[in-house]
């Protein structure tokens, strides 16, 4: 980003804006770049942890919660609390409430209505008139003793001072926010560049050597171990198993004798119709040259 861009003064901006903008942006750039790098690293780690650990764990815990806690509690609440409360409300509290309501109406509401109509309402109207006069006098005193001096103080003293201070603070805040925005974008570009550089370094220093070592060292070594060690050992073990099996068979025959094979019944030839001619097959021929 060119320095002339920051030194250029836009139309309508004063010397104060230009003087505040450049040092604020330099300081904010120095402070924001490490924060942005740390923020990007933490955000990537948080996304990875959320995607691989927290979401599956949350779904499993939610399923266990619904299965082991919510459903049993809901059933227990319906069976042990809601049903007894409904019966209690229907057969005990409702009739009792109706009786108490009738008693309250007869013993409280009717006397209170009579007291309000014939005692409290006239007294309240008289007190209201007295209080209205007192309130009017107090309002006039407050207006001329408090409000009028406060308005004059604000209009001629505090208003101009606070307006000038607000103008200065607005300029400073706008420039700081603008500098933060620019520096945050620059920090993002720096973070992406650092990430690409670290990825390239990791690929060059770790991934490529490991791949070449696997391809040119481990794979030939594995093939050599397989062809020079494993296969001969397997052949030797196969021969040893065959020798042990033959020796065990000879010992069994020497101790118990040769087992007598079971006599199988002679196969009965399939029944054919008398005088029938043999079926033609691939091995037979009916021509004069190949006929037996």
* pLDDT per residue as tens digits for the range 213-258: 999 999 999 999 888 888 898 888 988 888 988 888 888 777 776 6
CA-based torsion, 143, 144, 149, 155: positive or negative:
positive
Judged against a pLDDT cut of 70, whether residue 285 lies above it is answered with no
pLDDT of residue 276: 46
Cα separation values, 114 from 124, 152, 201, 275, Å: 15, 53, 94, 132
**CA dist., res. 189 & res. 85, Å (int):** 65
**CA dist., res. 104 & res. 98, Å (int):** 10
Mean pLDDT for the chain overall: 82
């Amino acid at each position: 980003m060119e320095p002339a861009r920051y030194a250029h003064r836009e139309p309508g901006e004063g010397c104060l804006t230009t003087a505040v903008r450049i040092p604020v942006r330099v300081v904010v750039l120095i402070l924001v770049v490490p924060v942005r790098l740390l923020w990007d690293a933490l955000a990537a780690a948080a996304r990875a942890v959320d995607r691989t650990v927290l979401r599956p764990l949350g779904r499993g815990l939610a399923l266990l919660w619904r299965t082991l806690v919510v459903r049993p509690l809901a059933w227990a609440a319906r069976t042990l609390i809601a049903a007894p409360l409904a019966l209690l409300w229907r057969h005990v509290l409702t009739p009792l409430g109706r009786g108490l309501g009738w008693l309250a109406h007869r013993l409280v509401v009717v006397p209170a209505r009579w007291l309000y109509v014939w005692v409290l309402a006239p007294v309240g109207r008289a007190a209201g008139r007295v209080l209205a006069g007192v309130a009017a006098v107090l309002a006039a005193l407050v207006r001329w003793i408090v409000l009028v001096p406060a308005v004059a103080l604000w209009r001629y003293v505090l208003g101009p001072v606070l307006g000038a201070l607000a103008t200065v603070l607005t300029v400073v805040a706008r420039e700081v926010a603008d500098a933060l925005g620019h520096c945050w974008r620059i920090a993002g570009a720096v973070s992406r560049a650092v990430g690409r550089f670290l990825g390239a370094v990791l690929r060059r220093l770790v991934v490529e050597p490991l791949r070449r070592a696997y391809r040119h060292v481990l794979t030939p070594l594995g093939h050599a171990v397989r062809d020079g060690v494993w296969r001969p050992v397997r052949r030797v073990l196969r021969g040893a198993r065959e020798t042990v099996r033959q020796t065990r068979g000879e010992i069994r025959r020497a101790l118990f004798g040769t087992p007598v094979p079971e006599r199988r019944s002679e196969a009965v030839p399939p029944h054919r119709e008398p005088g029938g001619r043999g079926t033609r097959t691939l091995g037979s021929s009916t021509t004069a040259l190949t006929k037996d």
